[in-house]
């Protein structure tokens, strides 16, 4: 390494520097000439070659549609639930909850004053089908710029996906 440093810092005599400059200049001119002489299409010119692409329209996946439906219900539940636990909503505003869970939400909860003014929102929801008629949804909730997961257990009742339990137990 020291030898390279010596070579690098050593001055080049004037006659050699002119030769080195001329060699680099000639190399660049030759390379530019070769590149210019290569024929190419005009980018603005339309190609006469027709291009045919066979594509089958994508059909919506039944499983994905089901997951999106579950996620939508989970998001709507969380909007009402977050307002309720922040003291800014009423239990009847919480949608997509089973009657049993709605009964639990009707109990008055103590809300600290600091919690009433928190900025909270749902940022993401991911559904995972557990079995026929059951799903687990992980909802990402952001509270004062801190994101944390909330796990919802959902069940299919009367053709609707409803939240049965909040949190993993």
For the stretch 86-117, pLDDT in tens is 888 888 899 999 999 999 988 877 878 877 77
The 3-class secondary structure across 112-127, one letter per residue, is CHHHHCCCEEEEEEEE
Where is 139: in which H helix or E strand?
strand 134-143
User: Residue 156's pLDDT is what?
Assistant: 94
Q: Determine how many CB atoms are found less than 10 A away from the CB of residue 81.
A: 27
Whole-angstrom distance, CA of residue 148 vs CA of residue 101 = 22
Output the pLDDT for position 50: 65
pLDDT-based confidence at residue 126 (cuts at 50, 70, 90): very high
Angular region, 3: left φ>0, alpha ψ -120 to 50, beta rest: alpha
Residues with Cβ < 8 Å from 133, sequence gap 6 or more?
155, 156
Residue 27: is its pLDDT beyond 90?
yes
pTM of structure: 0.61
50-95 per-position pLDDT tens digit: 667 677 776 668 888 889 999 999 999 999 999 888 888 888 899 9
Residue 86 is given by DSSP the state: T
Task: Give mean pLDDT, residues 30-57.
Answer: 74
Distance CA 122, CA 143 (A): 9
Contact between 127 and 137 under an 8 Å Cβ cutoff? The reply is yes
* Whole-number percent of the chain with pLDDT over 70: 87
Q: Which two tokens stand for residue 9?
A: 């810092």
Which tens digit of pLDDT belongs to each residue from 141-154? 998 889 999 999 99
The pLDDT value given to residue 132: 86
Going from the N-terminus, what domains does the chain have, and what CATH number goes with each? Answer: 63-166 (3.10.450.540)
């Amino acid at each position: 390494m020291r030898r390279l440093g010596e070579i690098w810092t050593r001055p080049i005599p004037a006659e050699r520097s002119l030769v080195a400059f001329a060699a680099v200049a000639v190399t660049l001119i030759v390379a530019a000439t070769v590149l210019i002489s290569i024929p190419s299409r005009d980018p603005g010119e339309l190609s006469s070659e027709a291009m045919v692409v066979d594509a089958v329209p994508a059909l919506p996946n039944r499983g994905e549609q089901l997951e999106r439906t579950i996620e939508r219900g989970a998001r709507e539940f969380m909007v009402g639930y977050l307002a309720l636990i922040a003291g800014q909503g009423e239990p009847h505003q919480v949608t997509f909850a089973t009657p049993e869970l709605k009964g639990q939400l009707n109990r008055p909860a103590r809300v600290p004053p600091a919690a009433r003014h928190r900025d909270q929102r749902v940022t993401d929801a991911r559904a995972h089908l557990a079995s026929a008629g059951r799903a687990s949804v992980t909802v990402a909730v952001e509270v004062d710029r801190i994101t944390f997961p909330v796990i919802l257990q959902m069940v299919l009742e009367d053709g609707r996906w409803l939240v049965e339990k909040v949190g993993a137990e």
